[in-house]
């Protein structure tokens, strides 16, 4: 059967009308900020006080975009007669976000909780070299990391808190005990 003349045009107009009356899903960024989940993977923050320069993150990074430099320092013995110890001191910690693929492996493998996700994502640069963030910049990102979610009220207490509570209770009990005078009862 031959198509009715003009039916194609009518169909096309119907599609146009339908689309025009539908709510738009296009976000007008940057005039409208996107509503991202609070724990989005935006950028990585470094809490360098926790970093022991174990190099695990740099070794596991699939893109090899974490650069760490360090040197060894000798620490004097804690007690007289003890042995001197050596420890790693961080000289450089940088992440090249032009290579990073935001896999999160570095954050997962860090055994000392020194790396965290921040939801900040507005750090585009016109020069690609500026996408290598050095330790000061990574520390600034640290202050934009959201607080961890509250513990489930029914969850088992973390063992660190339980151990700290036991120690505090022992101390309090020791302080509450009446002191016995060594001279007491002597003639
Ligand atoms: S998120 Fe992945 S790619 Fe980016 S620095 Fe960490 S390990 Fe490397
Ligand atoms: S894995 Fe953690 S502690 Fe080890 S070098 Fe990386 S950030 Fe520092």
Give the closest ligand to the alpha carbon of residue 57.
2
107: its two tokens: 């954050």
Q: How far apart are CA 157 and CA 143, in angstroms?
A: 27
Per-residue pLDDT at 187 exceeds 60: no
Give the model confidence (pLDDT) of 52-106 as tens digits: 999 999 999 999 999 999 999 998 888 888 888 899 999 999 999 999 999 999 9
State which ligand 2 atom lies nearest to the alpha carbon of 66.
Answer: 6
From the CB of 56, is ligand 2 less than 6 Å away? yes
Nearest CA to ligand 2 atom 3: 51
Average of pLDDT values for 123-136?
97
Predicted TM-score (pTM) of the model is 0.73
25: its two tokens: 């899903």
Q: How far apart are CA 120 and CA 144, in angstroms?
A: 7
Bridge partners of residue 160, in order along the sequence: none
Per-residue pLDDT at 28 exceeds 90: no
pLDDT for position 154: 87
Q: How far apart are CA 143 and CA 151, in angstroms?
A: 21
Nearest CA to ligand 1 atom 6: 106
* 3-class SS of residue 117: strand
Give the model confidence (pLDDT) of 38-67 as tens digits: 889 999 999 999 999 999 999 999 999 999
Average of pLDDT values for 165-169?
92
31: its two tokens: 């005039």
For the chain, count helices (H), then strands (E). Answer: 5, 5
Give the model confidence (pLDDT) of 133-144 as tens digits: 999 999 999 999
Q: If we measure between CA atoms, which residue out of 108, 97, 83, 93 comes closest to residue 52?
A: 93
Find out whether the peptide bond into 30 is cis, omega within 30 degrees of 0. yes
């Amino acid at each position: 059967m031959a198509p009715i003349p003009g039916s194609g045009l009518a169909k096309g107009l119907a599609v146009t009308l339908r689309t025009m009356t539908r709510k738009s899903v296009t976000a007008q960024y940057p005039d409208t900020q996107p509503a991202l989940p609070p724990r989005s993977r935006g950028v990585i923050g470094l809490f360098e006080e926790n970093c022991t320069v174990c190099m695990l993150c740099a070794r596991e990074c699939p893109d090899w975009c974490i650069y760490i430099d360090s040197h060894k320092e000798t620490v004097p013995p804690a007690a007289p007669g003890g042995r001197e110890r050596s420890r790693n001191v961080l000289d450089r910690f940088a992440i090249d976000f032009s290579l990073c693929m935001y896999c999160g492996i570095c954050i997962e493998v860090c055994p000392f909780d020194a790396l965290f996700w921040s939801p900040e994502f507005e750090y585009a640069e016109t020069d690609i070299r500026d996408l290598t963030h050095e330790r000061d910049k990574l520390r600034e990102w640290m202050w934009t990391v959201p607080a961890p979610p509250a513990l489930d009220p029914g969850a088992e207490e973390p063992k660190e808190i339980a151990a700290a509570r036991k120690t505090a209770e022992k101390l309090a009990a020791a302080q509450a005990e009446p002191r016995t005078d060594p001279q007491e009862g002597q003639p």
